[in-house]
Amino acid sequence: MKKITIAIDGFSSCGKSTMAKALARNIGYLYFDSGAMYRAVALYCMQNGIIANGEIDKEALRQQIDNIKITFCADAETKNSVTYLNGVNVENEIRTLEVSQLVSHVAALDFVRTALIDQQREMGKSKGIVMDGRDIGTTVFPDAELKIFVTASAEVRAKRRYDELIARGSTPDYNDILANVVERDHLDQTREISPLRKADDALLLDNSEMTVEGQLAWLEEQFKLRTAE
Ligand code: DC
């Protein structure tokens, strides 16, 4: 069967990574979380004093961007994809609200996007991948054979992120999370470079009322259709 590239884009906390991961596992493809890469750069800024008065020191980050290498590796036990920043497992650190609050600003920087898009294209060179993000179908892999654009209401998405943080042992405030979701939607859609938008040839999936199983069944059907062509 021919190998294809699957691009899953959409708003934050839509459950994109849950469905992308499950799809990749079921069809034997590699999964890449491009949002985790932007989060890792935000974490790098926090860890390396590249933030002053709550603002990113753009020049310092520009000088260091080529030293930031992000890789993914499957966890030996869970088989889940784990994010490494310069060889260190940062999977938990990149999911904090602090990182979530900084990441849209990092993702709006042109030199950050250029560097990460290069790394993403390298990861997808041999096809047989599922990558999720905001600009995968529009910019990173405009020729992807299967493109999905996922959406759900802001409240549903905030509740999902809230539950995820609770499950990780945090004590988040729902209203802070909702405000963060709304702010990130705005920043993601209005940034100058690679703003979040549905590619013309992407299939729209509103999963506000769908179960994870229902979404997965639908995705696998789309995959079968594309690979049978
Ligand atoms: O999907 P996520 O919430 O983990 O993404 C984190 C941030 O990174 C989000 O604010 C949007 C940004 N992002 C992006 O600009 N381009 C991508 N391809 C993926 C994520």
- Report the nearest-CA residue for atom 13 of ligand 1: 35
184 lines ligand 1 (CB under 6 A): yes
Q: Tell me, what's the pLDDT at 38? A: 97
Helices and strands (H, E) in the chain, number of each type:
8, 10
Amino acid 2: pLDDT: 87
Per-residue pLDDT of the chain (229 residues; tens, 9 = 90+): 889 999 999 998 898 989 999 999 999 999 999 999 999 999 999 999 999 888 999 999 999 999 999 999 988 888 889 999 999 999 999 999 899 889 989 999 999 999 999 999 999 999 999 999 999 999 999 999 999 999 999 999 999 889 988 998 989 999 999 999 999 899 889 988 888 999 999 999 999 889 999 999 999 999 999 999 7
- Give me the domain span that covers residue 121: 5-227
* CA 228–ligand 1 middle distance (angstroms): 31
Q: Indicate whether residue 9 lines ligand 1 (CB < 6 A).
A: no
**pLDDT at residue 58 in the model:** 97
The enclosing domain of 217 has a CATH number of 3.40.50.300
Helix (H) or strand (E) holding 3: none
By alpha-carbon position, which residue is closest to atom 4 of ligand 1? Answer: 35
Q: Look up the pTM and report it.
A: 0.90
Within 10 A of 211 (CB to CB), how many other CB atoms are there? 9
Nearest to 45 by CA among 67, 59, 61: 61
Q: Is the CB of 157 under 6 A from ligand 1?
A: no
Q: For residue 22, give the amino acid letter.
A: A
On the 0-12 / 13-18 / 19+ scale of CB atoms within 10 A, 225 is: exposed
- Written as one letter, the residue type at 51 is I
pLDDT of residue 9: 97
Give the number of domains in the chain. 1
